[in-house]
Amino acid sequence: MPIGVTKKRFAVNVVMNWAATAVNMIVPFFLTPFVVQHLGSTAYGVWILAVSTTSYLALLDLGLRSAVVRFVSKANAQGQFGDATKYIGAAVWFRLLVALAIIPLAGVVALLSPHLFKVPADMMRALQITILLCATGVAITLVSGVFGAVLSAINRFDLLSSITVAQTILRATGVLLLLRQGHGLIALACWDALVIFAAGVALFATACIFFPAARTRIRRPEMAVLKPLWSYSVTTFVFMIAVQVIWNTDSIVIGAMISVSMVTFYSIGSSLVTYSAQVAQAISTTFTPIASGLEASGRSADLQTMLIRGTQAMLAFSLPIAVALFFRGETFISLWMHWGPADAQRSEMVLRILMISLFFSMANATASSLVMAIEKHGPMARWAVYEAILNLVLSVLLARTAGLYGVAVGTTIATAAVHLIFWPRYVKKTLGVGPRHYIWEGWSKVTLCTVPFGIICAISEHFWRAPNMAVFFLQILVTLPVYVVSLLLVFRDDAKAALLKWRTA
């Protein structure tokens, strides 16, 4: 594919991913306080527990999605559509077997849940049924996800993002109607599974229309087809396990060792961290195909440039959100959730602690995408396992002494340790960028630009408390130019070069 076409496709992918990310952030933003108010803190905590628990079943993907993307994109580029059909068929066959195994596994988890979580007796039945319904949604997602991977492989992120947006809006509409009519957890879980099924059908139909090779028969594949799929996916599978433990263990630890009601306060703080991370992820998911092409062409210098520029872009777009939430989290949460100061402060403290871990994750997000693209993600997966183990151990130990905040501190210590020790050294080894250059150019310059903005946010929180959400966002909008000016001053040479290029284009 010519470079110009690649850049055009990259721009389309980024824009569509941002659009989908915006919807996936805005809809839950308005929906979450509505759900918490109608369900109550305990029932909402039960919902989070069910979702967090069944999310581990998604590990049965076994890293197959990334393998489908790789082999289908390769076959498509070479015009070997018959091979693409074989790989897609093998993936669907294997995913169907996994999906059939998920339901009995979920049944075991549901039966054991009274012994695992501190849930009130009157909510236990609802938890068990919700776990089964959420597991059904996971099973459907695993099968339909093959066709989502096909759309990624042919660079149709526009179609994939459109289906994701439709799914989010449809789910939110149903949740609003069900809760207004007085329905509870089980009804929400049923609606979730139904929406997931509809999205799965849409993915299948869209993939078959735009990539006819996706029309495959379900039958046992040959070992010659399964073997390369499995070989490629093993390392990714290990990485996925670690990521699931890192992101979903905290709620389970809190539910098991503290109380289910505390899960709500933790999840509100951590959800804001997740929203901030999604801004960066909308960019990082589009780096992989371009990086693969650069590596295949031997253009290591361009890979190094992409590492630095990509890291700067990640932080430039994400840090203002993180900084504003770090300093003004209590006001934002109280206005968002309609909570009093005590409840808002609980979630704000969790938010502040986890924002530190988010910084390191965002700082190395581009490096992670590039390493995956050039198939050198084995050590990355191994260190992710170290992070997951350290996270779990520290969270359990600190939960006994520091409660809710101890769990967040355990997560942050584990993330910071791994990202500081492993990534700068591995970036030098794989991409040839020294730690000092990587940290200064990639991390520090953009981070320094946020200092004046952070100071203003802290002053505003102390002297200029917003009475409502509209005023809060207006305050952020008024103070944001300070950050923009700081960026232009620090990166003035780059800004001048970009302006000159635009004028002469």
Tens-digit pLDDT profile for residues 30-40: 888 888 888 88
Compute how many other C-beta atoms are within 10 angstroms of the C-beta atom of residue 401.
7
Q: Do the Cβ atoms of 417 and 390 come closer than 8 Å?
A: yes
Average pLDDT value for the chain: 84
What's the first-to-final CA gap in the chain, in angstroms? 23
Structure tokens at 337: 């959730």
| pLDDT tens profile 398-432 | 998 888 899 999 999 999 999 999 999 999 999 99
Mean pLDDT, residues 447-466 taken together? 92
| pLDDT tens profile 171-226 | 999 999 999 988 888 898 899 999 999 999 999 999 999 999 888 877 777 777 77
DSSP-derived secondary structure for 295-316: HHTT-HHHHHHHHHHHHHHHHH
Structure tokens at 321: 């959100």
Cβ contacts of 324 within 8 Å, gap of 6 or more: 332, 453, 457, 476
Q: Is the pLDDT of residue 451 over 50?
A: yes
Q: Please work out, in degrees rounded to the nearest 5, the angle formed at the alpha carbon of residue 388 by the alpha carbons of 384 and 392.
A: 170
Q: Which amino acid is at 182?
A: G
Q: Is the pLDDT of residue 343 over 80?
A: yes
Between CA 463 and CA 398 the distance in angstroms is 34
Cβ contacts of 323 within 8 Å, gap of 6 or more: 450, 453, 454, 457
pLDDT top residue among 26 and 223: 26
DSSP 117: S
Between CA 226 and CA 208 the distance in angstroms is 22
pLDDT at residue 98, as a whole number: 87
Q: Give the H/E segment covering residue 415.
A: helix 378-421
Between CA 409 and CA 185 the distance in angstroms is 31
pLDDT at residue 426, as a whole number: 93
User: Which residue carries 């050294």 as its tokens?
Assistant: 425
Cβ contacts of 415 within 8 Å, gap of 6 or more: 246, 357, 360, 361, 387, 391
**What are the φ/ψ torsions at residue 222 (nearest 5 degrees)?**
-75, 150
Cβ contacts of 359 within 8 Å, gap of 6 or more: 319, 322, 447
Among the listed residues 117, 152, 150, the one whose alpha carbon sits nearest the alpha carbon of residue 47: 117
Local structure of 285: helix, strand or coil: coil
pLDDT at residue 147, as a whole number: 92
pLDDT at residue 2, as a whole number: 36
* Least confident span in 1-5, 320-324, 339-343: 1-5
Mean pLDDT, residues 61-78 taken together? 76
Q: Is the pLDDT of residue 169 over 60?
A: yes
Between CA 289 and CA 298 the distance in angstroms is 15
Between CA 473 and CA 153 the distance in angstroms is 38
Cβ contacts of 500 within 8 Å, gap of 6 or more: none
Based on its alpha-carbon atoms, the radius of gyration of the chain, rounded to whole angstroms, reads 23
User: Which residue carries 């996971």 as its tokens?
Assistant: 138
| pLDDT tens profile 235-254 | 777 777 787 777 777 878 88
Mean pLDDT, residues 463-485 taken together? 92
Structure tokens at 117: 């979580």
pLDDT at residue 394, as a whole number: 93
DSSP-derived secondary structure for 456-481: HHHHHHHH---SSHHHHHHHHHHHHH
Cβ contacts of 443 within 8 Å, gap of 6 or more: 311, 315, 363
Q: Model's pTM, two decimal places?
A: 0.70
pLDDT at residue 256, as a whole number: 82
Between CA 28 and CA 131 the distance in angstroms is 21
Between CA 305 and CA 431 the distance in angstroms is 10
| pLDDT tens profile 349-395 | 999 999 999 999 889 988 988 887 777 878 888 898 999 999 999 99
Mean pLDDT, residues 132-146 taken together? 90
